[in-house]
Amino acid sequence: MNYLRKEKNMTVILVDQNLCTRCGICSVVCPMAIVTPADDKALPIVKDAVAGMCIQCGHCEVSCPSQALLLNVRPDEKLPLPAGAGTISPEDMAFYLKKRRSVRHFTKDTVPKEKILEILDIVRYAASGGNGQPVQWIVVHDQERVKKIAGLTVEWMKTLKNTNHPMSGYVPVLIGAWESGRDVICRDAPHLLFAHIPEGNPVASVDAIIALTHFDVAAPAFGIGTCWAGFVAMAAASYEPLQKELGLPVGRKCAYAMMFGYPQH
């Protein structure tokens, strides 16, 4: 393809001068309004002065009806979608989403790491504020470590007894169940998934929930069941021993957690 750079050092978009019809759609769909419209003498461009505002969303590229434009982010790695890829009827989408359930009984089989990475590769396309993509992941693959995290969560619950914490009235029952041998925290799940985000980012917590929801929705297509691990997430937000166990990087905090594995039923 004969891509033409219209300005020195301009690297945001690449435009094929033989395919561009100067329709202006790329300028219209750009959420940052930084694509200067084409005219009879010039192709669409992103000027150097505003290039730093690009959030690399790719709307300009995917909306180009003549496929004349590429967002210049690793262009050599881009692959064309097969015809009809991702097409799903409204009825099938409705049934798929309505079938979603929380799974609390898992087999002892572990999910191969390659399969987990396949799902996370889907999840990384989840929406985030300004396409900031602040969410990173910790996957607990060892069931014994999952059990240890459940135990640390119970330890956190013990600190809530006789306090004003909203959970204080519930924790005695949960602690009693745990001490009787029932894992009411992680439900004997073989794996845990933690989404962690930068401290001080005001919207990253929402970005994390969006991303975890993608995992929750995508996992059943791979035969995997999920359940939101609310008790663990609450403990990870404030209980230092659990935070140390997770090994969160400096400057980052746990946003939420999810248990997953192969459903037993």
Q: For the chain, what percent of residues have pLDDT higher than 90?
A: 88
Nearby residues of 262 by Cβ (< 8 Å), 6 or more positions away: 106, 107, 109, 111, 190, 223, 224, 225
CATH of 98-261, one of 3.40.109.10, 2.60.260.20, 3.40.50.150, 3.40.1590.10: 3.40.109.10
Confidence of residue 86 (pLDDT cuts 50, 70, 90): confident
What pLDDT does 247 receive? 96
- Per-residue pLDDT of 199-225, as tens digits, reads 999 999 999 999 999 999 999 999 999
State yes or no: pLDDT of 173 exceeds 70. Answer: yes
Q: Where are the domains of the chain?
A: 3-77, 98-261
Q: Bridge-partner residues for 71, per DSSP? A: 13
Kindly report the pTM of this predicted structure.
Answer: 0.86
Closest CA to 25 of 73, 68, 65, 80: 65
Question: Going by CATH, does the domain composed of 3-77 fall within 3.30.70.20?
Answer: yes
State the Cα–Cα distance between residues 86 and 82, nearest whole angstrom: 9
Q: Do domains 3-77 and 98-261 have the same CATH topology?
A: no
State the Cα–Cα distance between residues 219 and 19, nearest whole angstrom: 40
State the Cα–Cα distance between residues 235 and 257, nearest whole angstrom: 10
